[in-house]
Every structure is written in C-alpha cells, then in structure tokens.
C-alpha cells in the first residue's frame, strides 16, 4: 500500500509539470536577410583575404512577425547589403559602393528592393481572416427554432 502511494505521488508530481507547460506563440520584430543576387566568386567579394567564402547581394528588412511565419507589418524598409549564404552576418554599403556593385553586375536596384507579395500583404490577410472567423463565431450563435407540435 505504501509503495502504491509513493509511486502515485511520484508520478503525479511529474504530470503536474507537464500540465502546467503552455505553448507560447512567439511574436516581435525580427530582421530578415534574403540573398537576392549571386555575385561572382572573385577576390573583390571574398569575406577576407585568401578566403574561400564569398559575399552575395542581399535584401535586409525588419518586420513585426507572429509565430515566425506571419509577417504582420514591415517596421523598417528594405535595403541592400552584402551577406554570406546561410549566415546572419551582413555588411552595410555606402550608396556609392552599392551603385558600383549594381552597375558592374548589371542589376536593377528597384527590382531588388521589392518585397514579395506574401511579405507585404499575406500576413495582414491571414490576421484579418482570423479576426473575421472570431467575429463570425461570436455573432453566429444558433438561435432556437420554434417547433410547432403536430397532432396525428
């Protein structure tokens, strides 16, 4: 009997911790860096002298994000930077350096700065859809129907 009580109290101690754990949805401002143009692997775009890693042209912007996948709104307009692939490191450029890189590689600066449709509007549509479903759920309660009894 005592063994059963001890076992039961030991198991209940761990189940209480599992029950109290809550899933949290992360939200907040994050910096997004996307590689948008692959620059030639030359000494000019090397990370350091005699390095095998090269920089590419990337677009960086800051957005308010919900659950890492729903961009609610853009908090900082996009700008062009140099970045390594699969890394969070980036190097800011002056306007002269940026214009030189764009002209050397025959790129269109305006097209490079445009954000995708989902980044601009997708998150707002998802949020509006969720709010609409919540409002619809609140105001669409089933009303009791009047049923008249029939005599046979």
Res 17 pLDDT > 60 = no
Residue 66's pLDDT is what?
86
96: left (phi over 0), alpha (psi -120 to 50) or beta: alpha
Res 38 pLDDT > 70 = yes
Which two tokens mark 54? Answer: 């090269």
Report the SS3 class of residue 61: strand
Name the pLDDT band for 145 (thresholds 50, 70, 90). confident
Res 19 pLDDT > 60 = no
pTM passes above 0.75: no
Res 20 pLDDT > 50 = no
Decide which of 48 and 113 is more confident.
113
């Amino acid at each position: 009997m005592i063994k059963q009580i001890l076992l039961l109290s030991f198991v209940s101690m761990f189940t209480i911790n599992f029950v109290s754990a809550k899933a949290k949805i992360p939200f907040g401002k994050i910096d997004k860096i996307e590689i948008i143009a692959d620059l030639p692997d030359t000494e000019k775009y090397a990370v350091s002298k005699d390095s095998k890693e090269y920089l590419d042209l990337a677009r960086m912007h800051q957005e308010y994000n919900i659950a890492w996948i729903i961009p609610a709104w853009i908090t900082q307009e996009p700008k062009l930077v140099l970045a390594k692939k699969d890394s969070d490191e980036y190097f800011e450029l002056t306007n002269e350096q940026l214009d030189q890189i764009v002209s050397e590689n025959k790129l269109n600066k305006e097209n490079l700065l445009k954000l995708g449709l989902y980044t601009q509007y997708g998150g707002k549509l998802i949020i509006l859809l969720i709010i609409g479903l919540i409002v619809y759920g609140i105001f669409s309660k089933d009303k009791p129907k009047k049923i008249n009894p029939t005599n046979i």
